[in-house]
A and B are shown apart, each in its own frame.
Chain A
Amino acid sequence: GAVVSQHPSWVICKSGTSVKIECRSLDFQATTMFWYRQFPKQSLMLMATSNEGSKATYEQGVEKDKFLINHASLTLSTLTVTSAHPEDSSFYICSARSGPRHYNEQFFGPGTRLTVL
């Protein structure tokens, strides 16, 4: 099946700094990628939909100036958490939507655990 990678798998940063998380589709092109946030012992919350070459669409309540999303190519989307604070600590998961070759299925990355001190 199709593979999606995320980098880094975990990151610890100081409050006030920015952190960039990469999401890559390794063996397919993804015109659409999604970013989710997962709090401990909870379900996935969709943050935004990222389309290659255009601005991301954010879900209600998600600050677009804080969570910057860039989808510069068909295989890479990045999420930058700007001026991170401890409440931003979470597990961030991306997914990439395949094309007809994989029946338009979504494939999930392994997640990035962010801890803000």
Chain B
Amino acid sequence: GNSVTQMEGPVTLSEEAFLTINCTYTATGYPSLFWYVQYPGEGLQLLLKATKADDKGSNKGFEATYRKETTSFHLEKGSVQVSDSAVYFCALSDEPHMRFGAGTRLTVKP
């Protein structure tokens, strides 16, 4: 079945550092791919998505490219801020619902 493998962390960075969170997937067909962010005590918010190969999703300085050849959807940000501290989930569409990775906790220190 479809599944998502995500770098588990936790990840601790200094402010303005470069961020990469790895995500790879296993799927039949070509699912849509997502990154969600969860701030403490809150639900999930969609951060970005890509619906087909070579699509790049971007939002709030975060980017991820749908790579079919490596079955990956790594999340990147060039310069993180303290306010980016949260848990990040990689997910794929597995109709009718979704499959989530384990989540990666990011802490950004000033």
B96 at the interface (CB under 8 A from A): yes
A residues contacting the other copy or chain, number (CB 8 A):
21
**CB-contact partner of B97 in A41, A42, A46, under 8 A:** A46
Contact, CB under 8 Å: B97 / A34: yes
Contact B96 A109 (CB under 8 A): no
Does B44 contact A43, Cβ atoms closer than 8 Å? no
- Beta-carbon contacts under 8 Å, A71-115 to B: 93, 95, 97, 105-111, 113
Q: Which one of B14-22, B75-83, B101-109 is at the A interface?
A: B101-109
Interface size grouping (class) on chain B: 10 to 19
Q: How many A-B residue pairs have CB under 8 A?
A: 42
Q: Mark A41-71, 1 if CB is under 8 A from B, else 0.
A: 1111010010000000000000000000000
Q: Known contacts A93-B43, A109-B43, A111-B43; is A44 also within 8 Å of B100 by CB?
A: yes
B73 located at the interface, meaning its Cβ lies under 8 Å from any Cβ of chain A in the complex: no
Residue pair B100, A43 in contact (C-beta under 8 Å): yes
* B96 contacts across to A, CB distance below 8 A: 32, 49, 97
Q: Which of B41, B98, B101, B102 contacts A106 (CB 8 A)?
A: B98
For residue B44, which residue of chain A has the nearest CB?
A108
Sort A-B residue pairs by CB-CB distance and give the 10 closest, nearest first. Answer: A110-B43, A111-B43, A108-B44, A43-B100, A43-B102, A108-B43, A43-B103, A44-B100, A93-B43, A34-B97
